[in-house]
């Protein structure tokens, strides 16, 4: 697209058309109030792909065999704002209440599997790793597998690199920052190689049943602030997928404004001193 | 021990399903004695939209909660006329849990439900009409207030009208007020109906925060 050409505009009808398509592909629904957010990113991709207008771009998006453009758009449309030790009370709940209960019924040779989804740029799974190492006294008695997944491939790459700015680490106590990070130029911090190598990062769309087939036998799932982006139907599908991913008796932690009880009766509500979480019946 | 990294698929059992996943096989498994096999059959039947009737039939007799949830998820995913037609008769069930599940499922299918709503609201059974109004309570359809208004204009049953008035308190606009005002007169100014109507008008006009 020539820079002198006017910026393409997205009509209300085109917005609706795109919204329906994006919902079918990802389960993510945009309310009318998100119009500006969506239009801005669509226009950015229309220009980046040298499409003349929305119509041409949409045809390419729908029929491109590689799906490369759809993935680029998903990466832009998903929100990745997070930081280390966000909603720390849930990590306290994990080490003080959830893991002791899980450990009670585990043999020493059985791994404890924890899944962070969506993992965004890695702050949550690395926070989990740090919290376990620092605050769970029995951490050395078990093999603990940490899997972290997101739909956004570019953010996963960032997570694997593990480099963060000052804002992302601002809630971390200074001794932990020194212990687990190395300082880089430009006030950046990189998480230690040991921790980077202890988390398995994978790409997944949790509303896609076929993609979810490899995700099984987790003891704990952290799925915070994802379901709020879904509509009712996608929430149901996601809840089924999370149910499938958990072992009987496994736990799921949602964001503080989310409630599994409003979505499905599949899980039991567990009120621990630190937090309310949900459990797959045993 | 401590933190270890393994491939996510190989460290867990990737997939517990070993039975055939074709249409005929899944329909057979929907009747299996194992709830786990029935649940997976229900989930995988989402790939076969023409099985809506069989899924609804299974829902009517299914007692396992996870299987019922899987059946409902698949029915909502399939959507469309066949699903609505299969779910509508279940509103007559004596099982209140099933009725509530069906109401919630229909609420998630606004476009598919809309062609049937008029018929549902004119059903001879007042209970069925009340359950249809319950569907309207959370149906994202622009015609919902008009359907409810039509109910309070014509329905002869006081409980049906009271249910419609109750929902109009949430979804009704100022255009509904004249129709509401005339409603108690159709029931000899019944005090209960007068109370319902006044409360609803206050809420519509924003006097009752």
Lowest mean per-residue pLDDT among A79-88, A192-201, B148-157: A79-88
Query: Cis link prior to A103 (omega < 30° from 0)?
Result: no
Comparing CA positions, the residue from B142, B145, B79 lying closest to residue B112 is B79
Confidence check: pLDDT of A171 > 80: yes
Question: Look-up: residue for tokens 């997928």?
Answer: A241
Q: Compute the count of residue pairs across chains A and B with CB atoms less than 8 Å apart.
A: 86
Domain borders along chain B are 142-209
Mean pLDDT over residues A80-101, rounded? 93
Highest mean pLDDT among A24-33, A109-118, A252-261: A109-118
Please determine, for residue A80, whether its predicted confidence score (pLDDT) is greater than 70: no
Higher pLDDT, B5 or A119: A119
Residue A138 to residue B121: CA distance in whole angstroms: 61
CB contact under 8 A, A145 and B73: no
Counts for chain B of helices (H) and strands (E), in that order:
13, 1
Summary mean pLDDT of chain A: 91
pTM for this prediction: 0.80
Helix (H, G, I), strand (E, B) or coil at B133: helix
- For A152-207, the DSSP string reads -HHHHHHHHHTEEETTTTTTS-HHHHHHHEEEETTTEEEE-HHHHTTEEEEE--TT
* CB-closest option in A214, A233, A266 to B8: A214
Question: Can you tell me the distance from the alpha carbon of A244 to that of A164, in angstroms, rounded to the nearest whole number?
Answer: 33
Angle, helices B96-107/B65-78, rounded to nearest 10 degrees: 30
**pLDDT by residue (tens digit) across A54-74?**
988 988 888 777 778 888 888
Whether residue A3 has pLDDT greater than 60: no
pLDDT, tens only, A176-193? 999 999 999 888 999 999
- Closest residue of B to A217, CA-based? B12
Cβ distance B76 to A217 less than 8 Å, yes or no, reads: no
Q: Rounded to a whole number, what is the distance in Å from the CA of A70 to chain B's nearest CA? A: 22
Out of A133, A145, A149, whose CB is closest to B6?
A: A145
Q: Break chain A into its structural domains and give their ranges.
A: 12-77, 88-279
B5: nearest CB among A198, A209, A236: A198
The yes-or-no verdict on residue B9 having pLDDT over 50 is: no
pLDDT above 50 (res B11): no
The class that CATH gives domain A12-77 is: mainly alpha
A141-158 per-position pLDDT tens digit = 999 999 999 999 999 999
Q: Domain A88-279: which topology?
A: Rossmann fold (3.40.50)
Instruction: Please list, in sequence order, all residues whose beta carbon lies within 8 angstroms of the beta carbon of residue B150, skipping any fewer than 6 positions away.
Output: B121
With a pLDDT cut of 90, the percent of chain A lying above it is 66
Residue B8 has pLDDT above 60, yes or no: no
Pairwise CB contact (< 8 Å): B1 & A218:
no
What number is the average pLDDT over the span A228-241?
A: 88
What is the token pair recorded at A88? 């720390």
ipTM of the complex: 0.78
* Tokens read off for B174: 């100022």
The CA dihedral of A240, A213, A219, A265, to the nearest 10 degrees, is 10
Distance CA A114, CA A215 (A): 11
CA distance A225 to A280: 19
User: For B147-196, how does the pLDDT look when each residue is reduced to its tens digit (9 = 90+)?
Assistant: 999 999 999 999 999 999 999 987 888 889 999 999 999 999 999 999 99
pLDDT band (50, 70, 90) for residue B129: very high
Contact A145 B5 (CB under 8 A): yes
């Amino acid at each position: 697209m020539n820079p002198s050409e006017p910026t393409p505009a997205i009509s209300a009808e085109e917005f609706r058309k795109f919204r329906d398509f994006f919902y079918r592909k990802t389960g993510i629904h945009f309310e009318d109030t998100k119009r500006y957010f969506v239009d801005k990113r669509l226009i950015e991709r229309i220009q980046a792909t040298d499409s003349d207008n929305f119509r041409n771009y949409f045809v390419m998006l729908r029929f491109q065999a590689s799906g490369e453009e759809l993935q680029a758009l998903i990466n832009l449309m998903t929100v990745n704002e997070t930081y280390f030790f966000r909603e720390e009370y849930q990590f306290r709940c994990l080490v003080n209440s959830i893991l002791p209960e899980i450990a009670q019924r585990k043999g020493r040779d059985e791994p404890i599997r924890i899944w962070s989804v969506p993992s965004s740029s890695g702050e949550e799974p690395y926070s989990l790793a740090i919290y376990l190492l620092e605050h769970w006294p029995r951490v050395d008695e078990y093999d603990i597998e940490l899997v972290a997944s997101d739909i956004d491939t570019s953010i996963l790459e960032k997570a694997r690199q593990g480099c963060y700015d000052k804002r992302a680490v601002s809630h971390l106590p200074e001794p932990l920052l020194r212990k687990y990070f190395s300082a880089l130029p430009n006030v950046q911090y990189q998480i230690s190689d040991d921790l980077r190598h202890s988390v398995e990062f994978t790409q997944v769309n949790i509303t896609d049943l076929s993609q979810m087939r490899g995700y099984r036998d987790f003891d704990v799932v952290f799925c915070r602030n994802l379901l709020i982006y879904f509509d009712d139907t996608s929430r149901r599908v996601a809840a089924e997928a999370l149910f499938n991913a958990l072992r009987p008796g496994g736990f799921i932690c949602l964001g503080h404004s989310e409630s599994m009880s409003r979505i499905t009766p599949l899980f039991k509500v567990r009120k621990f001193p630190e937090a309310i979480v949900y459990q797959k019946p045993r | 021990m401590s933190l270890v990294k393994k491939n996510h698929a190989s460290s867990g059992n990737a997939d517990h399903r070993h039975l055939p996943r074709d249409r005929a096989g899944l329909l057979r498994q929907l009747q299996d004695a194992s709830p786990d096999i029935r649940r997976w059959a229900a989930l995988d039947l989402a790939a076969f939209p023409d099985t809506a009737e069989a899924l609804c039939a299974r829902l009517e007799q299914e007692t396992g909660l996870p299987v019922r949830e899987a059946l409902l998820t698949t029915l909502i995913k399939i959507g469309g006329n066949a699903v609505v037609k299969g779910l509508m008769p279940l509103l007559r069930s004596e099982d209140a849990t099933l009725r509530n599940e069906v109401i919630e499922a229909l609420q998630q299918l606004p476009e598919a439900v809309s062609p049937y709503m008029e018929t549902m609201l004119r059903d001879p059974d007042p209970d069925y009409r009340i359950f249809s109004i319950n569907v309207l309570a959370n149906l994202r359809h622009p015609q919902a207030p008009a359907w409810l208004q039509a109910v309070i204009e014509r329905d002869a049953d006081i409980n049906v009208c009271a249910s419609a008035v109750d929902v109009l308190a949430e979804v009704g606009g100022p255009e509904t007020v004249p129709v509401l005002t005339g409603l108690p007169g159709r029931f000899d100014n019944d005090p209960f109906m007068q109370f319902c109507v006044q409360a609803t008008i206050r809420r519509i006009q924003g006097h009752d925060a």
